[in-house]
Structure 1
Amino acid sequence: MNKIDIHIICGPTASGKSAHAMQKASELNGVIINCDSQQIYDALPILSAQPPQQDKDQIPHILYEHLHPNNICSAGNWREIALPKIQETIKENKTPIICGGTGLYIKALIDGLSPMPDIPEEIRTKVVEKYNKLGAQAFYDELYKRDPEIAQRFHVNHKARIIRAMEVIEATGKSLADWQKLPRETPPEEWNFIITKVLPTREQLYQRCNARFDIMLKQGALEETEEFSKRIDDGEINENVPMAKALGFKQLREYIKGETSLEDAIETAKTKTRHYAKRQNTWFKNQI
C-alpha cells in the first residue's frame, strides 16, 4: 500500500506555525488546512491571527474564516469538515499541510473519534441558559442525578465538559459515556502523518506573545473588538460564543466599557496570552 503523507504543523499560539506551514507548502505544492478553533470563525481576524491576504494569495488556505461565530465547532465537527478537504487536496495531487494550535482537533484527526450526535442549536441554548441560571454546583448536581457515570469523570469546574454531557443526554436520552464506547472512526490506513511541533523556548515564546499583541493593536484589534462587541450587544451574536474567548477580547472589551484602563487591559491580555501559550506548550510536548 502506497502511503500518503499528511503534514501537521502544530504548537502554541505565537510560536511561528504559520511561517513553517508556508515554507512547507511552498516546498511540497501544499494546501494549508486550518486546525485552529478560533481561526475557523469569520470574526476577529486580527485577534485570532488569521493569515494575511498575501499568504492566502500565494498558497491555498482552507477552513479559515469558514463558520459564522454562532456556530459550534467541536473536535468532531472539525474532523467532519476537514476530512473531505484533505481528500480533495490529495485528489488534486497536492500535499495537505494541517496547521494550528488546537490539539484536540489534531488528536481527533490522527486517532479518530467515536461517532457523536449533532446537538440542535435550541438544545445548546437551553442547556447554557440552565447552567447560567443554576450555577456550576447545582447544574453539576443535576447532571450527576441524570448521568452519574459521566459526571464522576468531571469536576464541577469543568464547565464546557459538563455542559456538553448535559447537551448529549438532553438531545439523545443517552449518556455521553455510551456514545464514547462506540468504535472509533479512524483515518484511512494509507495516510502517513508527519508531525512538526514548533516549540520555542519559554523566553522566546513569551517575547513573541508580547510583540504580537502590540502588532495586533496597531493593526486595529481595538476597533474590531468594539465592532464585535456591538454585534453581541445587538443580539446578532450570542454572548457565550467561542470567539468571545479569543485572547485579548475580554480585556479590550472591558476597556471599551470603561471598566479598566487601556494600559491595564493590554498588560492583562498579554499575561493571559503567555499563560495560555505555556499550557499549550506543555500539552504539545506531552500529548502529541
Structure 2
Amino acid sequence: MTAPAQRTTAARSRLEAVRARLELPTVRHAAGVLDGRHRSIFSGHGQDFDEMALYLPGDDVGDIDWKASASTGHPVIRRFQRESNLAMALCVDTGRSMATLAPDGTSKADLATFVCDVVGYLARSRGDLLALVAGDAERSVQVPARGGTTHMEALLHRIAGMITLDAPPSAMTHVLDLTLTWFTRRSLVVVVTDEARPTREAEQTIKRLRARHELMVVQIADALPTDFAGEVVADVDSPVRLPRFLRGRQDVATEARRVADTRQREVTDMLRRHRVPSVVVRGEDDVVDALAEVLARSRRAGS
C-alpha cells in the first residue's frame, strides 16, 4: 500500500465544504435516492406502539386488533408512533491502511472522509440522525445517533482526525462486531473501509448486521506499488520494500493486478451472498455517484 504525505486537518466546516464542492443536481439525485431508503426502512408496523382507538372510515384495515374488537363489540385499531427521521450510522475503518494512496494518487483518507462528509451533509440537510462506530486494532469510538449541525461537524472532524499514517492497523471485523452489539435501532448502516475488507472472518457478523439493519459497503480502492514505478514506495503494514527495478517490470505489474482483483472479487462475492450492496471508489470524482448507486442498490435489495 502506497503512502502519501501526511495531511493537516483544518478547523473548518466540513458540511459547508461539501456544499461548496458539489453541484446541486448531483446532491438532489443522491438525496432523492436517500428519500426512497427512508420510506423503505420504516415500512410496515415496526414502530413503537402508541394507543388503541376506534376504527374510522379511511383507517387501514390491517391495523384492526380483532381480539380487542371482539371484546369491545366495536372495531378497534392499534396506532403506532411513526418515525419522523431516518437513523443512519457510519461504520468506519480508521486503520493506517486507510491513509495510503488510491489509484488516482489521492489519499484514501481524503476519499474516506469525503464519503463520510457527504453522508453527514445529506443527513443534516434532511433532518436525519447520524451515529458513528469507528476504530482499528487499538481504538474504538462510538457516538450515539443525534441530529443537528454541531453534532454532525464534531462527528466528521473526529473521523478525519483518526485516519492517519501513524494509526494502528485496521481491525474491521472488530468494528463491525461493535456496530452489531452497540447499535440496536434499525438503521441505514454505511460501512467505509478499503477494497480488501471486510474479510471472510467477518461473514457471520455481516449476515447478522444485514438481518438487523439496512447495510451497504463503500470500499476505497488501493493503489498498487507498480502504479508508481518511478517513485519511492513504502508499505505501511510491513517493512518490505519492492525494488524500483522490479516495480517497473510489466510481468510484476500484471501479477500484482491479478492478486488485487482476486482479493477484491472474494470480498464482493461474500457481500453478494448476503445481499449487501457494495461499491468501490477509485477517486474523488467517483464519490457522490458511487453513494447514489449503492443507495439505489440497497433500496432494491431491501424491497
Same fold (TM over 0.5): no
TM range (shorter): 0.3 to 0.5
Q: Which has the higher contact order (CA 8 A, sep 6+)?
A: 1
Give the helix-richer structure, 1 or 2.
Answer: 1
With structure 2 as the length reference, what TM-score do the two structures score?
0.32
Larger radius of gyration between Structure 1 and Structure 2: 2
Give the strand-richer structure, 1 or 2.
Answer: 2
